[in-house]
Structure 1
Amino acid sequence: MKLQSLVLAAATALTVTTAFAVPAGTWSVAAGAHYVDPKSDNGTLANGALAVDVDGDVRPTISGEYFIANNVGIELLAAIPFHHDITLTDADGVSTDAKTQHLPPTLSVQYHFDGYNMPMNVKPFVGVGVNYTTFFKERIYSDVFEKLELDDSFGVAGHIGVDIPFNATESFRIDARYMDIKTDAKVDGNDVGEVDISPWVYGVAFVKRF
């Protein structure tokens, strides 16, 4: 009976360890790079007179995650400013160039899956949260207009990815995020419409747990 109890206790402990690979109270830091890939149709301005195209950019990123429960973490993503070239094209095909920088800090609640015996011991995760994007250093290159302004944006954000462990505390991460980023634009102080960036953000990172 004692042997059976010990075996049962050991099996239970192993099951719990497998099921909860990241215990509550754990911290992790991920350092890497992400590419912001705006949606292909970024809207129109000036009552449809100008089509908007926003290009992509890649920058270093860092995130920190604190596990409030087993396998459940709260993550904050930060980055150095992303730079985007903007092209405004009228009905005659004449284009005007502009540019902006932005910071998109994103706060997410995430669940890390474990115990599924996946190849290479891969650990998938999913998350959902809120993105705040602030724009600055906007410029428009025009002989007619002088100033471009883009309002800050709040929106939902989704996150999926996998961690490929090197060892118990270090892993390589591949992830993708969707961010709902829409900003109201002003030219020379006049409202001209909404720019819909709403990008997918693709990244890789080195993850360290503490």
Structure 2
Amino acid sequence: MKILLIASTAALAVLSSPAMAQDDRTGDIQVKLLGTAVLPDGKITDVKVDPGLPSGTQTAANDNVVPTVAIEYFFTNNFSVETICCMTQHDVDGTTGLPGAELVSNARVIPATFTAKYHFDAGGAKPYVGAGATYFLWVSDKPGAATTPAPFNVTDTDLSNEFGFVLQAGIDIPLSDKGFGLSLDAKRYFVDTTATWRAGSTTVIQTEHKLDPWVLSAGVSFTF
């Protein structure tokens, strides 16, 4: 949360400074091409079906870096809405109780996200803050290597699709008067998932996990 608080404080400081001339972006569309680091949590928050997991079993999801595209529409000079397009892949491994054990393999998620953003003006640079909703759609997931042998004998793994919310802060920095610029963005998602491991039609393990990823992006923007 510190990154979001720092960006928000900076944006409020801009508001208190003398107003400067700014271009009107009403009706503009901004497209961003970004490199994005996705840093999820993945820890267990509840065990619903326990086959005898070691006491204190805990998990973590690995980080990933992916390309993303963001598309933004300005309703006014200061207010816009944005959506992003990406898919990210993660494994879930044991950290305590089953240290190093691969529990979920190659889980791919589309984090469908819409945010409403308020933009400030700092003369050239334009910081912003935002908030919105997300839907984590898992398009594939496989049992981890540690779950397929006895005693679990898992044949299928499912991660539940879930709604959540997201906070956002960042800055757009124009690099030319032709709509080309630099963009830095930080999002914090708040979303969980229920993981279910089955042996045939029998649920052998079921746990709830806190995902809550930080999503940190940098790239270029084009305004039309």
Q: How many residues align?
A: 190
CA contact (8 A) 1:44 1:51 kept: no
1:136 pairs with 2:145: no
| Percent identical residues | 24
Alignment counterpart, residue 88 of structure 1, candidates 77, 90, 94: 94
**TM-score when scaled to structure 2?**
0.76
Relative contact order: is structure 1 or structure 2 higher (C-alpha 8 Å, sep ≥ 6)?
Answer: 2
CA contact (8 A) 2:70 2:83 kept: yes
Task: Find the aligned partners of 1:30 and 1:92 in 2 and give their Cα distance.
Answer: 41
The AA in structure 2 aligned to 1:83 is Q
Larger radius of gyration: 1
Q: CA deviation at 1:96?
A: 3.6
Q: CA deviation at 1:18?
A: 2.0
Partner of 2:194: 184
The AA in structure 1 aligned to 2:25 is P
Task: Find the aligned partners of 1:198 and 1:86 in 2 and give their Cα distance.
Answer: 14
Matches within 5 A, 1:41-60: 41-43=43-45, 45=47, 46=49, 49=53, 50-60=57-67
Q: Any idea what SS the aligned residue of 2:21 has?
A: helix
Q: CA deviation at 1:82?
A: 0.7
The AA in structure 2 aligned to 1:209 is T
Which structure 2 residue ranges, 5 or more long, are not aligned?
1-17
RMSD over equivalenced CA pairs, Å: 2.4
Matches within 5 A, 1:18-167: 18-19=21-22, 21-39=23-41, 41-43=43-45, 45=47, 46=49, 49=53, 50-79=57-86, 81-88=87-94, 91=97, 93=99, 95-99=101-105, 100-114=107-121, 116-117=122-123, 121-140=124-143, 141=145, 142-143=148-149, 144-167=153-176
Deviates more, 1:51-60 or 1:182-191: 182-191
* Distance change (3 Å), C-alpha of 1:105 and 1:44: same
Q: Any idea what SS the aligned residue of 2:75 has?
A: strand
Alignment counterpart, residue 208 of structure 2, candidates 171, 190, 194: 194
